[in-house]
Structure 1
């Protein structure tokens, strides 16, 4: 599938200009999320102060504790203190969790979107990106952040253009990655990565994450950061997992040029990929 993401026409640029000049206002995240993200950006932040901020929001608190007590971090321990949880999961993972939690709170009723299915795919994409980054020697934390937020621009587009969203998208038909971008271009005149990058920047996420999201669906023959290539590949893997396709089918959908650019030829033909794919199939769902 060919989608000209790298060279948007005048209409998409107009949408971007409207956002940048304030004619279109991006959704607001909860105040506590803004406070926590601001605190985490300070080099001298206090874990105690951040824990107190998080404790103001029961939903955010439960998500932090759930992540800290997951198999990935807990290693048999059971944590009940938010401060302890922060020390276990680390700043990068906490920043991502808070950013995604704020995003989920900002989009509670989006036309044309089944939000539970959307966030399930986002979680799978984030985890797939983390796997691919680790296997290719890239920044796994940044890949995870980028994967979780890569498609958030779709929610913004649907919220800004509710009538077009209802006509062009069905909450019962799920598309992802390049397929989603192609339909967005036909409905809105723009695809989600550029809008997603604006949101990532609004949340104060690292610049390398914003750059990767922005270029995540650039054509394989176009120059883009390795992290962007990982996000494009993760979208393909996540779509296969979410749609219940087999391992063999998923392997056939991987773009050879993309795999080669990341040096993952041996990985995708090994048991390591099948193991990682099976792990993605067992993810519990949205955060």
Structure 2
């Protein structure tokens, strides 16, 4: 995966626009962890874990968290715990750097992969884009999505096998749920980007990349627990999410992501974070609230929604309901 996103971004103009209208304490000696809202993170972990939990002894919890921390010191090993991106995607993304590339040329490359063709047509016909009439041709779909929309779709296609495909254990059960969050976070972060003058596509990438460390962390938990379950403690869950975000940032650097994307993942939730970190933090919060509402763990009238989001963020929350699973 190294270098392909850098090659894509090297000639991409910024999409930024003018602005629109108790975490768990780290163990002594551990890195300061970034984090979002601990209350939302605790609910999100409970949703993610579902019934596959057990009352783990403190030593087991500490062992899992220590292994996640240790992986931040060895990102090459951590990166080996997730699949690599298919080669067709980087090639397509490189082609899209060329301002002179035609729709027909892009359609010809997309047409090489029938799965990708189906993804593009499905996206163009989704409730998110709301076409007046059904889109039936690849050329028409690409014209509707636009270059930026197609780039973000290709990025999602590239990340899906990284997050979703796992062979056994709790990580296999959780992977589709994590991917659901990744897609929603990427869309929400890209919608929040103009309001904080962040790059739209970089916000999408940060939203997708943020969960890679969590998948690695869950695979490590499988190795330690060996029972297809994870510790039930909400405090453990909040800390696991915080450490996995830090791990995602380290892996992003190892994969040669732009420094501002890796930094945004590390800084998300911090008061003095970059504009990209703010877009990511807002997108992450909105995506988690959408999942919690859809699962029945929260109501639309809950204070976390009515008081925790402004009017534009609540509109984004509603827009995420139109995304197909």
Gaps of 5+ in 1: 255-266
Q: Do 2:159 and 2:208's aligned partners in 1 also have CA atoms closer than 8 Å?
A: no
| Alignment partners' CA distance in 2, 1:141 and 1:24 | 23
Matches within 5 A, 1:166-205: 170=230, 182-184=239-241, 190-195=243-248, 198-199=251-252, 202=255
For residue 229 of structure 1, the aligned residue among 273, 278, 287 is: 278
Offset at residue 282 of structure 1 (A): 4.2
Q: How many aligned residue pairs are there? A: 258
1:112 alignment counterpart: 170
1:261 alignment counterpart: none
For residue 100 of structure 1, the aligned residue among 156, 159, 182 is: 156
Over 3 Å counting, the alpha-carbon distance change for 1:2 and 1:94 in structure 2 is same
Over 3 Å counting, the alpha-carbon distance change for 1:24 and 1:198 in structure 2 is closer
Over 3 Å counting, the alpha-carbon distance change for 1:206 and 1:37 in structure 2 is farther
Is the partner of 2:170 in helix, strand or coil? coil
Q: TM-score, normalised by structure 1?
A: 0.70
Is the partner of 1:76 in helix, strand or coil? coil
For residue 146 of structure 2, the aligned residue among 90, 100, 109 is: 90
Gaps of 5+ in 2: 1-21, 34-64
Over 3 Å counting, the alpha-carbon distance change for 1:180 and 1:284 in structure 2 is farther
Q: Do 2:188 and 2:286's aligned partners in 1 also have CA atoms closer than 8 Å?
A: yes
Q: Do 1:100 and 1:149's aligned partners in 2 also have CA atoms closer than 8 Å?
A: no
Offset at residue 191 of structure 1 (A): 2.1
User: Over aligned residues, Cα RMSD in angstroms?
Assistant: 3.8
- Please tell me whether Structure 1 or Structure 2 has the larger radius of gyration of its CA atoms: 2
Q: Quick check: 1:277 aligned with 2:298?
A: no
Q: Which of structures 1 and 2 has the larger relative contact order (alpha carbons within 8 angstroms, sep 6+)? A: 2
Matches within 5 A, 1:1-287: 1-2=22-23, 7=32, 15-20=71-76, 25=80, 26-42=82-98, 45-73=101-129, 75-106=131-162, 107-109=164-166, 111-113=169-171, 114-136=174-196, 138-159=198-219, 162-164=222-224, 170=230, 182-184=239-241, 190-195=243-248, 198-199=251-252, 202=255, 208-217=260-269, 219-220=270-271, 223-244=272-293, 245-247=298-300, 248-251=302-305, 254=308, 268=310, 270=311, 272-285=312-325
